[in-house]
Copies of this chain bind each other. A is one copy, B any other.
Amino acid sequence: MFIENLIKEIEKRDTNMYGKDFLLTWDKSQDEVEATLLVSEALKKLHANNVSTNIFDTGLAVSLFRDNSTRTRFSYGSATNMLGLTGQDLDEGKSQIAHGETVRETANMISFLTEVIGIRDDMYLGAGHTYMKDVAAALDDGYKNNVLNQRPTIVNLQCDVDHPTQSMADLAHLKDYFGSLENLRGKKIAMTWAYSPSYGKPLSVPQGIIGLMTRFGMDVQLAYPEGYGLIPEVVELAGKNAAQSGGNFKVVNSMEDAFKDADIVYPKSWAPFHVMGERTKLLRAGDQAGLKDLEKQCLANNAKFKNWECDEQKMKLTKGGKALYMHCLPADISGVSCKEGEVAASVFDRYRLETYREAGHKPFIIAAMILLGRFRDPAAVLAALDRRAKPRLGF
């Protein structure tokens, strides 16, 4: 689509994202989700056309990573940089936060000249999303009381509940791959658990996928071995979404069933909901022995489901044997990154470049979330960038 057409499409969407955070996709209306995709697409096009998207003369983009990260860290760094913001990492190890100060205080202290705060907090079930809401309330309080000149927008870079920058990038990829959001209607996507020789992986990716893809009339099947369930509220929400969008949502306990005639497969490991709950308790108690025990139990349990691998055999079950394979990366590739894992090397190899392109949407999705959170009229901003046509590189 030409940039002018994208801008026209954005104008048509009824959004109320200015001054707001992006914490959960299901907090956003259909128009808002679509506007985010369209702004992302426009930014990606401007970047490819060597047109500057620099709209913040100065300003900080704070990041707080409570878990390791390569791709989200770089996506966030790229997104904020392309908008003209400067990253400042809140490294809790180098700070005085341990000193006992409150979330409310820290949130204000880091925000005097800050435009956006990106947070990854996915280690503790029941904690990440709550923490982000506490930060949001603190920023509201500071802004209202003239502590802050501006109210920074929070972007959820993965919490215990949702991983919106991932699921939105995945959606952008599907839109690209199948041509339009309309074309997703009726398509079957299998979000399935897969075996991995590790444990404790967050639930936010599968939750994010079923919470978002059910809104587009898709046939969403969530598959996992018994006992590997997700947060019940999110599963319930997925069902409601599907009913509303004219799609389907079904939970099954067989990878083969889910793969059958699927247009898209998303095989990925996660820890069972109840294990994550127990793990959170042990982590909080600092119970190292308990954690070791839990890990041992879990790995033993995982090992019963080594056949939950996305292999060539199962791929043959999909629509024409050619379902699109998706993954948030890095995948546990059998014989490459581990002995036995989520996906067979030959399957991964065939879709390797597609998974890279999938990941390539993330910086632009994050930039779109920021632009929509900090500018009242996103279409006008994009139109001005297009008119200005300042080269990103060179003169």
Interface residues of A (CB under 8 A from B): 47-48, 52-60, 62, 65, 68-71, 73-75, 77-78, 81-84, 86-88, 90, 94-97, 99-102, 105-106, 108-110, 112-115, 142, 145-150, 329-330, 332, 336-338, 353, 356-357, 359-360, 362-363, 374-375, 381, 384, 388, 390-395
Which one, B47, B95, B148, B356, contacts A113 given CB within 8 A?
B47
A395: nearest residue on chain B (CB-CB)? B384
Which one, B70, B82, B101, B381, contacts A97 given CB within 8 A?
B70
A384: nearest residue on chain B (CB-CB)? B395
B74 x A96 contact (CB < 8 A): no
Q: Which residues of the other chain, B, contact A390 by a CB distance below 8 angstroms? A: 57
Q: How far is the CB of A95 from chain B (nearest CB, A)?
A: 4
Complex: A37 Cα to B71 Cα, angstroms: 36
Q: How far is the CB of A85 from chain B (nearest CB, A)?
A: 9
Which one, B48, B102, B336, contacts A149 given CB within 8 A?
B48
Q: Which residues of the other chain, B, contact A392 by a CB distance below 8 angstroms? A: 56-59
Take A69-B96, A77-B88, A149-B48 as given contacts and tell me if A59 and B393 are in contact as well, using a CB distance cutoff of 8 Å: yes
A359: nearest residue on chain B (CB-CB)? B109
Provide 5 A-B residue pairs closer than 8 Å at the C-beta atoms, listed in order of the A residue: A59-B81, A62-B74, A73-B94, A82-B113, A100-B330
Complex: A62 Cα to B381 Cα, angstroms: 28
Q: Which residues of the other chain, B, contact A53 by a CB distance below 8 angstroms? A: 58
Q: How far is the CB of A373 from chain B (nearest CB, A)?
A: 12
B359 x A374 contact (CB < 8 A): no
B338 x A147 contact (CB < 8 A): no
Q: How far is the CB of A200 from chain B (nearest CB, A)?
A: 13
B88 x A60 contact (CB < 8 A): no
Complex: A214 Cα to B62 Cα, angstroms: 37
A58 x B68 contact (CB < 8 A): no
Most B-side CB within 10 Å, residue of A69, A113, A148:
A113
Complex: A78 Cα to B88 Cα, angstroms: 9
B146 x A357 contact (CB < 8 A): yes
Q: How far is the CB of A390 from chain B (nearest CB, A)?
A: 6
Complex: A97 Cα to B337 Cα, angstroms: 11
Copy number in the complex reads 3
Complex: A254 Cα to B322 Cα, angstroms: 69
Q: How far is the CB of A122 from chain B (nearest CB, A)?
A: 12
B78 x A60 contact (CB < 8 A): yes
B329 x A105 contact (CB < 8 A): yes
Take A70-B90, A94-B68, A394-B55 as given contacts and tell me if A60 and B48 are in contact as well, using a CB distance cutoff of 8 Å: no
Q: Which residues of the other chain, B, contact A394 by a CB distance below 8 angstroms? A: 55, 375, 381
Which one, B86, B106, B110, B393, contacts A81 given CB within 8 A?
B86
A393 x B115 contact (CB < 8 A): yes
Complex: A76 Cα to B363 Cα, angstroms: 24
Q: Which residues of the other chain, B, contact A332 by a CB distance below 8 angstroms? A: 100
If A56-B392, A70-B90 are given as contacts, then 20 extra A-B residue pairs at C-beta distance below 8 Å, sorted by A number, are A53-B58, A55-B395, A58-B84, A60-B78, A60-B81, A62-B74, A69-B96, A70-B95, A70-B96, A71-B109, A74-B109, A78-B88, A96-B330, A101-B337, A102-B336, A105-B330, A112-B362, A112-B363, A147-B353, A147-B360
Q: How far is the CB of A286 from chain B (nearest CB, A)?
A: 20
Most B-side CB within 10 Å, residue of A100, A114, A332:
A100
Q: Which residues of the other chain, B, contact A78 by a CB distance below 8 angstroms? A: 60, 88, 112-114
Q: Which residues of the other chain, B, contact A356 by a CB distance below 8 angstroms? A: 105, 108-109, 142, 145, 147
